[in-house]
């Protein structure tokens, strides 16, 4: 193959071992199987252990990837590196502290990773290529805990710091250095629009990032290296409750809050997101009118504002447990 080394856009052919080794060490390239988003577990309306996968750069229905360690409802959180997907927390209906993982390159079942610092559900999450964060949740009261894990090594989560307020919120986005976490929830009987941020590489408490364009929580997070997205979500007030179509964007490097970007194809909350450099996907969720749940996968451009478009369907309508991808936020394993 000469000097035409394999990289993320060219990994066909037969390669000598010494050429691949030289390429990985010297040129920092290696073959990639493209960007995947996984949607794990959820309510159908009973609890399931199913893991669906979609290839973000195409369109079409989800296909089977494998299974969680146990069936659980749609209240966990997911994150990923360029090689490994992580699923944390949730409930069965007992609240869980279990963290599970898979390798994106190989279809199969989750394995045990370790445990959160406290059992809880409805968490926010985000990750760089090395570190994953799980924030907030119900444990059973609202929590301000931020946990972190080192994705490449198995083990229990470690305390990172605290959100600005205890919340159960279920939405996270950001880049490779900064995590933006929904810190909404009910205060005490209406939904807030708060969002926090932390610098992923350094421990410490969260700082206020700004506000979403409208109060809601339980949104799908998507991102490229500069733009964070929250799609959908749920608004609750004692006299009014509704799921949203709203898509917010925010500049990850600023502290300016969210602005309107477009709309999903349908109003939904508890949806889960994944992304690559150019495209985000929103998977499943709850349209807001019980007992309805959604099998719809939407996609949207992360480079230009506009409404989402139909991508395909999950294997079954459900309120997903977690969503994760191997190309979000500027991770380099993207086609």
Looking up residue 278, the CATH number of its domain turns out to be 2.120.10.80
DSSP 3-state of 313:
strand
- As a whole number, mean pLDDT of residues 289-307 equals 91
23 belongs to a structural domain: no
What dihedral do alpha carbons 118, 50, 277, 301 form, nearest 10°? -110
Instruction: Inform me whether the pLDDT recorded for 177 exceeds 70.
Output: yes
49-69 pLDDT, tens digit per residue, is 999 999 999 999 999 999 999
Question: Average pLDDT of 252-274?
Answer: 95
| 9, part of any domain | no
Which tokens hold the place of 325? 């991808």
* Residue 305: both structure tokens together: 């504002």
Q: What are phi and psi of 17, to 5 degrees?
A: -60, -40
Model confidence at 101, in pLDDT bands (50, 70, 90)?
very high
Residue 170 lies in a domain: yes
> What separation in angstroms does the CA of 133 have from each of 10, 115, 249, 326, 330?
32, 13, 21, 15, 16
Asked whether residue 241 is domain-assigned, the answer is yes
pLDDT at position 29: 47
pLDDT at 183: 86
Asked if residue 31 is part of any domain, the answer here is no
> Is residue 142 a part of any domain in this protein?
yes
> Taking all residues of the chain, what is their mean pLDDT, rounded to a whole number?
89
Percent of the chain scored above 90 by pLDDT?
Answer: 74
Q: Which domain holds residue 148?
A: 37-330
Position 22 confidence tier, pLDDT thresholds 50, 70, 90:
low
Residue 21: its pLDDT value, please? Answer: 58
The span from the first CA to the last CA of the chain, in angstroms, equals 21
Structural domain tally of the chain? 1
Give the model's confidence band at 19: pLDDT under 50 very low, under 70 low, under 90 confident, else very high.
Answer: low
pLDDT for 236: 85
13 in a structural domain: no
Express as a percent the part of the chain with pLDDT over 70: 87
Res 17: pLDDT: 62
Average confidence (pLDDT) over 114-135: 97
Residue 3 maps to a domain: no
């Amino acid at each position: 193959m000469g000097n035409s080394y394999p990289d993320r856009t060219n990994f066909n052919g037969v390669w000598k071992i010494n050429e691949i080794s030289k390429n990985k060490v010297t040129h920092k390239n290696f073959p990639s199987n493209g960007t995947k988003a996984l949607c794990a577990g959820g309510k159908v309306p009973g609890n399931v252990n199913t893991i669906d996968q979609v290839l973000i750069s195409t369109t079409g229905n989800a296909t089977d990837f494998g299974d969680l360690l146990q069936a659980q409802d749609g209240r966990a959180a997911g994150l990923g590196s360029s090689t490994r997907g992580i699923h944390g927390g949730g409930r069965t209906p007992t609240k869980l502290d279990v963290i599970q993982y898979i390798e994106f390159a190989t279809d199969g079942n989750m394995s045990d990773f370790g445990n959160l610092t406290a059992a809880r559900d409805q968490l926010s999450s985000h990750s760089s290529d090395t570190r994953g964060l799980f924030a907030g949740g119900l444990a059973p009261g609202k929590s301000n805990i931020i946990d972190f894990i080192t994705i490449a090594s198995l083990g229990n989560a470690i305390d990172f710091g605290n959100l600005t307020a205890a919340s159960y919120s279920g939405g996270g986005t950001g880049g490779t250095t900064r995590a933006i976490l929904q810190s909404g929830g009910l205060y005490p009987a209406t939904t807030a629009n708060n969002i926090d941020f932390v610098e992923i590489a350094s421990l410490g408490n969260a700082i206020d990032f700004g506000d979403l364009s409208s109060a809601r929580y339980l949104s799908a997070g998507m991102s490229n290296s500069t733009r964070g997205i929250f799609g959908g979500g749920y608004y609750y007030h004692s006299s009014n409750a509704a799921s949203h179509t709203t898509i917010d964007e925010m500049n990850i490097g600023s502290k300016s809050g969210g602005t309107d970007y477009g709309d999903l194809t349908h109003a939904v909350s508890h949806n889960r997101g994944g992304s690559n450099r150019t495209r985000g996907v929103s998977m499943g969720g709850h349209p807001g009118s019980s007992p309805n749940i959604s099998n719809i996968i939407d996609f949207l451009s992360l480079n230009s504002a506009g409404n989402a478009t139909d991508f395909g369907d999950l294997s079954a309508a459900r309120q997903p447990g977690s969503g994760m991808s191997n190309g979000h936020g500027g991770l380099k394993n993207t086609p």
